Amino acid sequence: MGYPYPSHERETPILSKYFGDAGARTLDGWRQRGGYDALQKAVSMDPQEVQTIVKDSGLRGRGGAGFPTGLKWSFMKPDGKTHYLACNADESEPGTFKDREIMRWTPHGLVEGVALGAYAIYAETAYIYIRGEFTEPYARVCAAVEEAYAAGVLGANVMGSGKRIDVHVHRGAGAYICGEETALMNSLEGRRGNPRIKPPFPAVAGLFGKPTTINNVETLAAVPHIINNGAEWYKQFGRADNPKSVGTKLFSVCGNISRPGNYEVALGFPFKEFLYDLCGGPLPGREIKAVIPGGSSVPILTREEAEGALMDYEGFVASGTMLGSGGVIVFDDRQDMVKQIARLARFYAHESCAQCTQCREGTAWTTRILERIRDGEGTVEDFDTLLSIADGMTGKTICVLSDSCATPVISGLSKFRHEFEAKIVANRSVVNVLGAPRASAA
């Protein structure tokens, strides 16, 4: 039995190829699997060339926003200033646990990607900011960094090139907001993890006021493969009719699904096949009711919408949602959507840094109203109140945490309104929350 299931024949395991293979965790093991060849190759090139290859590959940020990585790197010029790379390993988006597995199984793959990224943006110092709760990934990444220093992969003479790259691992303290790139920088500087107003953008004035690039773990871990195999190789993965979304993507799957876990597929993969063939579909006797495809911050899809979606940036937008972080959360017919959406709102209210009035008050009031409806004490006016609060929370704050709370509320109210109405009118849930198998289960 592989990790945690054998790879499905329709997966494209590039980043996940060595998940479950403990031998890949050590420096020697990583080298035996072709590790650090890309870094060796890159340090003999001009950083500009590395930027160009990544730009040509079409790689887009896997942290949520999908910003083109090569373009982001091209903002970093050889200007003689101190530059920094920050690797965002804070991974706290509900439903998302792909970066965790990269760090647990292939920590050297991440270290190599971080060193490559630092080199490409003319930085001698990189930070890996790891979610505080990630005990094992933290230990694995620290061990890999230590081994890399001892072997001369990091430090004053990277792979014998005479170039310097230092990597520091920093452990967070359990705040979701520190995954927002400017909050992450404040936290690294030892300040409260509050997002900063942009501009200035990090590429102009970031960490310690210096030009900085922030990239997600999965983004950086993809770079060695691109340097080894070339931009054209990477571009072959994806839909022929959508050159904007290329490469492979890790999707974390959780909730009411037969085979939860991480799956790596080429972008553009049909979501229906993904849910039913790769992930095994719903639990026996159950039916999928709703899916959040990209972490808790993106609009909820009904089963019908999910089954028609294609798994890439544009495909999910065409279906009314977003790719986000790739955290797929599945709800079956036992789930009370009022309760689920109230639960999400409570998360955002708890994690708001409270700088912006719309977010501080909006997330708190949204939670209170949703919990009141959940408890059978809602009124029909609550619909308008919730939508009006959601409007005030969208596009008006320092960061998008506020929008992220409004999104599932707006999509949930429009798609599962009958469940809210049943709670308001008769304090009745329209689902069988006890979960007795449906009659048609046989």
Ligand X SMILES: Cc1cc2nc3c(=O)[nH]c(=O)nc-3n(C[C@H](O)[C@H](O)[C@H](O)COP(=O)(O)O)c2cc1C
Question: What does the binding site for ligand SF4 look like in residue numbers (CB under 6 A)?
Answer: 177, 195, 352-356, 359-360, 397-399, 401-402
- Token pair recorded at residue 315: 């495909």
Contact between 101 and ligand X by CB under 6 A: the answer reads: no
CA 257 to chain centre: 20
Q: Closer CB to ligand X, residue 16 or residue 92?
A: 92
Q: Closer CB to ligand SF4, residue 139 or residue 354?
A: 354
Least CB distance to ligand X at residue 196 (A): 11
Minimal CB distance residue for ligand SF4: 359
Nearest to 220 by CA among 46, 59, 31: 59
Contact between 90 and ligand X by CB under 6 A: the answer reads: yes
Contact between 216 and ligand X by CB under 6 A: the answer reads: yes
Beta-strand runs (E) in 27-154: 84-89, 125-130
305 binds, among ligand SF4, ligand X, none (CB under 5 to 8 A by kind): none
Contact between 402 and ligand X by CB under 6 A: the answer reads: no
Query: What 3-state DSSP class applies to 375?
Result: coil
Which residue is associated with the tokens 């945690």?
4
397 binds, among ligand X, ligand SF4, none (CB under 5 to 8 A by kind): ligand SF4
| Cis ω before 199 (30° cut-off from 0) | yes
What Rg value do the Cα atoms of the chain yield, rounded? 22
Which residue is associated with the tokens 């596009």?
395
Least CB distance to ligand X at residue 187 (A): 12
Q: Closer CB to ligand SF4, residue 262 or residue 297?
A: 297
Q: Closer CB to ligand SF4, residue 353 or residue 413?
A: 353
- Token pair recorded at residue 213: 């690039």
What is the torsion angle, in degrees rounded to the nearest 10, for the CA atoms of residue 268, residue 272, residue 275 and residue 277?
Answer: -100
355 binds, among ligand X, ligand SF4, none (CB under 5 to 8 A by kind): ligand SF4
Nearest to 383 by CA among 419, 350, 333, 351: 419
Burial tier of 304 (Cβ tally within 10 Å: 0-12, 13-18, 19+): exposed
- Token pair recorded at residue 263: 């799956």
Contact between 294 and ligand X by CB under 6 A: the answer reads: no
Among 27, 185, 337, 401, binds ligand X (CB under 6 A): 401
Contact positions with ligand X (CB under 6 A) in 48-77: 61-65, 67
Q: Closer CB to ligand X, residue 89 or residue 373?
A: 89
Q: Closer CB to ligand SF4, residue 158 or residue 401?
A: 401
Q: Closer CB to ligand X, residue 39 or residue 220?
A: 220
Contact positions with ligand X (CB under 6 A) in 151-170: none
Q: What is the C-alpha end-to-end distance of the chain, expressed in Å? A: 28
CA 201 to chain centre: 21
Q: What is the DSSP letter of 345?
A: H
User: Which residues sit at the interface with ligand X, rule CB under 6 A?
Assistant: 61-65, 67, 88, 90-93, 177, 179-181, 214-216, 219, 399-401
